[in-house]
Structure 1
Amino acid sequence: MRNTFCKAPLWECNDELVRVAQGEIPADLVIRHADLVCVTTHEILPDTDIAVACGRVAYLGIGGRTAEHCIGENTVVVDATGLVAAPGLMDSHIHVESAMVGVSEYARAVVPRGTTGIFCDPHEVGNVRGMRGVRAMFEDARRVPLKAMMTPPSCVPAVTGVEDTGAVVTAADIADSMGWDDVVALGEMMNFPGILSCEENAIGEVRATLAADRVVTGHFPSPDRDRALNAYVAAGVSSCHESGSFDEVLAKLRLGMYVQLRYGSAWLNLPGYLPQLVESGVDLRHCLLCSDDNHPHTLVDEGHMDRVLRAAVELGLDPVTAIQMATINCAEYFGLAHDLGSITPGKCADIVLLDDLEGFFARKVFIDGDLVAQDGHALFDVTPHEWPDWMTHTVNLGVAPTAETFRVAAPGIADGTARVRAMAIEPGDTLTRDVVVEVPVVGGALLADPSRDILKVAVFDRHHGAAGTHAFGFVTGFGIHGALAQTVSHDAHNLLVMGDNDDDMALAARTLAECGGGEVAVADGEVLALVELPVCGLMSTERVEVVAEKVARARGAWERMGCTMPSPFMTMGVMSLACVPELRLTNRGYVNCLTFETESLLAQ
């Protein structure tokens, strides 16, 4: 695959690299005396020199040899004594929108942490504004040095027939996108039931991707490790980030899949399987690292792929192996290893100078040989992106919510209690459980029961105005008093409202409708915290640091309201994700995500 993300393709500058390597002409940059992480041999090569020209590595001085012959009058020389040189880190699966900022602000947060490339699935924007919105989002990406490689959304909607989105992506759309110069793969194929049933559009998207010589990234949370998994892989889906146990990871590796080991803000899967994976002794070359979803405060306060590396090493993974999972393994999977993933001659000079292989603090970050970050700070800046109006006016409920809007009628049921289905939340994971609980019935309406941590949930179609529908359900596990609402509700990104009383739920819903979307916490008639996200109801127009502060205030509000789980807004946001087991709520009602059939609110 031709890589359009480098300063210059190799075929344009290979003659110059030849001359630099032999000392006939000077290099643009020489990094001296670094301890080089050689990901091709799993070695650390001490006191290595790296010569760079045309944005690519021209020469490595290894084993006592130096790059002094590459230094000329105008060569920039960097003394890296005491530092470790590693290839630029890459996130193999990420949704930028989860950071609540556009790609340019995302770059400001992650590049100083050593991230030089991301494989980005923009299916959040895709569900709101379709491929037109995806294209608008990536116009912002062109303004920064971060290599933002697109994997266009395959599942808009995530599962057909059970929810209403703002757009639809077809196999024809995917075929067209494969000609875009920033597309490298197909975004996660969440519609695994569609693949298993050979549904025309799902299979068509995979075929269009394979015909373009791209890989198909996956999402297979099913417990089936036999016929269904074999069929999914046989269809052409070659990776998966949705694994919850060592057995799942191993089953996928044995069938030839690349497994993306996930550690984000809320989905902390690494501890659940990495120690066993290391102890097993299996070959890890098909293992990649990814974050999937990060909230802005995680990026600002804790880091990005450097954070994932720290967690992996703390769990027992060898540091060089960990770096391989975030560099060469990733590049090889996406067919880009001829340009990315290693510090070797001819490759792009995406280089991170680290303090050590424990903290992974990036002292200097080079992308295509240009110094773009130093000591944790970006050396590039961007003005706010000018979003078109059709990307910033996307919340259209067609109704002004009142407390009465949230009344859940229980016709024919006497006052007392009723048995209802509820989603039981598992903190730190995307999974829910389908449980039956008893809730109060008063005046012919089903109520929340905060004394037993049973909250009411509502999902409103925010894309189709008065023609839209809404549905109710219940949830356990959050433990809050008041109400929370957000338009970040995967993947249709409809308006999701949760609370223990109708007045606070109505205030939360109205607040987001008025500001164009975002996240809000309300208690006793007071707005405790608000994160405005006017771009598709998903992203802010402010600096990532400002957004992180607002999210931190929201997190503090959650805690005051009684919630103790990590990244609760992100956990709440997947309650309507109709492709992950077991039970979810969309604007059309409950969805059984094992059978993909609708379920009634009242239990038998």
Structure 2
Amino acid sequence: MRNTFCKSPLWECNDELVRVAQGEKPADLVIRHASLVSVTTHEVLPDVDIAVACGRVAYLGLGEHTAEHCIGADTRVIDAAGLFAAPGFMDSHIHVESAMIGVAEYARAVVPHGTTGIFCDPHEVGNVRGMEGVRAMFEDARRVPLKAMMTPPSCVPAVTGVEDTGASVTAADIKDAMGWDNVVALGEMMNFPGILACEPNAIDEVRETLAADRVVTGHFPSPDRDRALNAYVAAGVSSCHESGSFEEVLAKLRLGMWVQLRQGSAWLNLPGYLPQLIESGVDTRHCLLCSDDNHPHTLVDEGHMDRILRTAVELGLDPVTAIQMATINCAEYFGLAHDLGSITPGKCADIVLLDDLEGFAARMVLIDGEVVAEDGRALFSPEPYAWPEWMTHTMDLGLEPTAETFRFAVPGRKDGTARVRAMGIEPGDTLTRDIVVEVPVRDEALLADPAHDILKVCVFDRHHGAAGTHAQGFVMGFGIHGALAQTVSHDAHNLLVMGDNDEDMALAARTLVACGGGEVAVADGQVLALVELPVCGLMSTERVEQVAEKVAQARRAWEQMGCTMPSPFMTMGVMSLACVPELRLTNRGYVNCLTFEMEDLLVE
């Protein structure tokens, strides 16, 4: 596949690389005396020189050989003695919008941590503003050196017939997108029921991707490891990041899939299967590392791929193997290993110089042979992006939320209790349980029961104004007093409101309508924290550090409200994700994500 992300295509500069390698022309840059992490041989090679020209590696000085013959009067020389040179890290699956910033600001946050490439699925923006919004989002990416490789959203909506989104993506859209210069694969095919049913649009999206010689990334959380998984893989879906156990990882590897091992802000999956994977001795060449979703405070406080590498090594993974999962394995899966993923002649000079192979602290980061970050600081600083107005005005609720809006009316019901269906939350996981609980009934209305951690939930269509609908449900697991609301609610990104009283829920909803979307915490009539996300109700126009501080304020508010789970807003944000078991709430009502049928709130 042709790579448009490099400074110079190899076919344009191979003659110059030949001359530099033989000492006939000086290199642009020479890195000297590094310990090279050789991902092609699983070695750490001491005292290696790396000569760079045209943004690519021209020569490696190994053993007794050096790159002195490549150094001219204008060659920049970097002494890397005591440092490890590794290929630039790549995140094999990421939704940039989850960091609540645009792609250029995301680059400023992650490049200093050694990340040189990301494979990003913009299905959050796609659900709000469609492929036109996706294109606008990635115009921002062209302003920074980070290689932002796009995998267009395949599931807009995530599952057909159960929710209302702001847009839709068709197989014809995917065919068109496969011709874009920044597209390398199809975004995660969450609609696995559609694939198994040979639903025309889902199957045709896969066909258009395969016909364009691209790979299809997947999302298969089903427990079926036999016929359904075989069928999913046979359709052409070749990777998956949605594994919850070693048995799932192993089943997918045995069927030839590439498994993306995930460690994000909320979905902390590595401890659940990596130790067993290491102990099993199974070949990991089809294993990739990914974050999937990162909150801004994670990027600011803990890092990006360096954080995931640290975790993997702490869990017992060999450091070179870990680096392979974030470099060459990733490049090979996406068909880009002829340009990316290793420090070898002809490849792009995407290099990170590390203090060690335990903490993975990046001393210096190079992309296409240019130094773009040093000592944890980006050497580029993009101005705020000028978003088009249609990307910043996306709240169209069609009503003014009041306390009465959040009254769960049950006409004719006497005071007492009622049995209702509720979502049971598992902290740190995307899965929910389908449970039945009893809630109070007063004045012909269902009430929350905070004493038993049973909260109300409402989802409002925010895309279609007065024509939109909203639905009601209950949830257990958050333990808060007050209300939380957000427009970051996967995947339709409708307005999601949760709380133990109608007044606070109404205030939370009105607050987000007024600011164009975001996340808010309310208790006893007071706004405790607010993260404004005016771009599609998903992204801020501020610096990542400012957004991280607002998220930190929200975290303190959650704790003040009684919540103890990690990243509750991220966990809350998947309560409407209608493609992951077991029970979800969309603007149309409860969805059973095992049968994909609608369920009633009341259980008679």
Would you say same fold, with TM above 0.5? yes
Match of residue 43 from structure 1: 43
Match of residue 126 from structure 1: 126
- How many Å separate the matches in 2 of 1:564 and 1:41? 45
- How many Å separate the matches in 2 of 1:510 and 1:467? 19
The AA in structure 1 aligned to 2:118 is I
Q: CA deviation at 1:83?
A: 0.3
Structure 2 matches for 1:314-329, cutoff 5 A? 314-329=314-329
- How many Å separate the matches in 2 of 1:61 and 1:438? 71
Match of residue 106 from structure 1: 106
1:204 aligns with 2:175: no
1:213 aligns with 2:217: no
Match of residue 519 from structure 2: 519
Match of residue 344 from structure 2: 344
Q: CA deviation at 1:161?
A: 0.1
- How many Å separate the matches in 2 of 1:64 and 1:377? 34
Q: CA deviation at 1:465?
A: 0.4
Match of residue 539 from structure 1: 539
Match of residue 566 from structure 2: 566
- How many Å separate the matches in 2 of 1:597 and 1:473? 16
Match of residue 376 from structure 1: 376
1:472 aligns with 2:485: no
The AA in structure 1 aligned to 2:364 is K
The AA in structure 2 aligned to 1:169 is V
Q: CA deviation at 1:413?
A: 1.8
Q: CA deviation at 1:334?
A: 0.1
Q: CA deviation at 1:423?
A: 0.3
- How many Å separate the matches in 2 of 1:601 and 1:279? 45
The AA in structure 2 aligned to 1:26 is P
Match of residue 63 from structure 2: 63
Q: Deviations over 1:59-85 (max 9, x none)?
A: 000112100000000000000000000
1:283 aligns with 2:293: no
1:242 aligns with 2:242: yes
- How many Å separate the matches in 2 of 1:74 and 1:559? 57
Structure 2 matches for 1:170-209, cutoff 5 A? 170-209=170-209
Q: Deviations over 1:177-233 (max 9, x none)?
A: 000000000000000000000000000000000000000000000000000000000
The AA in structure 1 aligned to 2:259 is V
1:504 aligns with 2:501: no
Describe the SS at the equivalent of 2:238: strand
Match of residue 115 from structure 2: 115
Match of residue 481 from structure 1: 481
Describe the SS at the equivalent of 1:223: coil
Describe the SS at the equivalent of 1:142: helix
- How many Å separate the matches in 2 of 1:339 and 1:236? 24
Describe the SS at the equivalent of 2:297: helix
Match of residue 353 from structure 1: 353
- How many Å separate the matches in 2 of 1:473 and 1:338? 51
Runs of 4+ with deviation above 2 angstroms? none
The AA in structure 2 aligned to 1:253 is L
Match of residue 405 from structure 2: 405
Q: CA deviation at 1:116?
A: 0.1
Match of residue 364 from structure 1: 364
- How many Å separate the matches in 1 of 2:409 and 2:222? 34
Describe the SS at the equivalent of 2:332: helix
Q: CA deviation at 1:592?
A: 0.2
Q: Deviations over 1:457-507 (max 9, x none)?
A: 000000000100000000000000000000000000000000000000000
- How many Å separate the matches in 2 of 1:284 and 1:554? 39
Structure 1 residue runs without a partner (length 5+):
none
Describe the SS at the equivalent of 2:202: helix
Q: CA deviation at 1:410?
A: 1.2
The AA in structure 1 aligned to 2:43 is E
Q: Deviations over 1:364-410 (max 9, x none)?
A: 00000000000000000110000000000001101010000000011
The AA in structure 1 aligned to 2:482 is G
Q: CA deviation at 1:412?
A: 2.6
- How many Å separate the matches in 2 of 1:36 and 1:174? 40
TM, length-normalised to structure 2: 1.00
The AA in structure 2 aligned to 1:296 is P
- How many Å separate the matches in 2 of 1:440 and 1:28? 73
Structure 2 residue runs without a partner (length 5+):
none
Match of residue 391 from structure 2: 391
Describe the SS at the equivalent of 1:237: coil
- How many Å separate the matches in 1 of 2:488 and 2:73? 53
Q: CA deviation at 1:414?
A: 1.1
Describe the SS at the equivalent of 2:203: helix
1:260 aligns with 2:257: no
Match of residue 168 from structure 1: 168
Q: Deviations over 1:298-329 (max 9, x none)?
A: 00000000000000000010000000000000
- How many Å separate the matches in 2 of 1:541 and 1:80? 37
- How many Å separate the matches in 2 of 1:282 and 1:168? 40
Same amino acid, percent of matched pairs:
87
- How many Å separate the matches in 2 of 1:564 and 1:51? 51
The AA in structure 2 aligned to 1:206 is V
Match of residue 230 from structure 2: 230
Match of residue 156 from structure 1: 156
Describe the SS at the equivalent of 1:154: coil
- How many Å separate the matches in 2 of 1:140 and 1:36? 34
- How many Å separate the matches in 2 of 1:556 and 1:514? 23
- How many Å separate the matches in 1 of 2:302 and 2:566? 14
- How many Å separate the matches in 2 of 1:569 and 1:119? 24
The AA in structure 1 aligned to 2:250 is L
1:579 aligns with 2:592: no
Q: Deviations over 1:109-166 (max 9, x none)?
A: 0000000000000000000000000000000000000000000000000000000000
Q: CA deviation at 1:411?
A: 2.0
Describe the SS at the equivalent of 2:364: strand
The AA in structure 1 aligned to 2:317 is L
- How many Å separate the matches in 2 of 1:81 and 1:568? 44
Q: Deviations over 1:548-594 (max 9, x none)?
A: 00000001100100001111100000000000000000000000000
- How many Å separate the matches in 2 of 1:400 and 1:132? 29
Describe the SS at the equivalent of 1:603: coil
- How many Å separate the matches in 1 of 2:482 and 2:39? 51
Match of residue 32 from structure 2: 32
Q: CA deviation at 1:516?
A: 0.2
- Counting matched residue pairs gives 604
Describe the SS at the equivalent of 2:380: coil
The AA in structure 1 aligned to 2:460 is F
The AA in structure 1 aligned to 2:500 is D
- How many Å separate the matches in 2 of 1:70 and 1:453? 68
Describe the SS at the equivalent of 1:473: strand
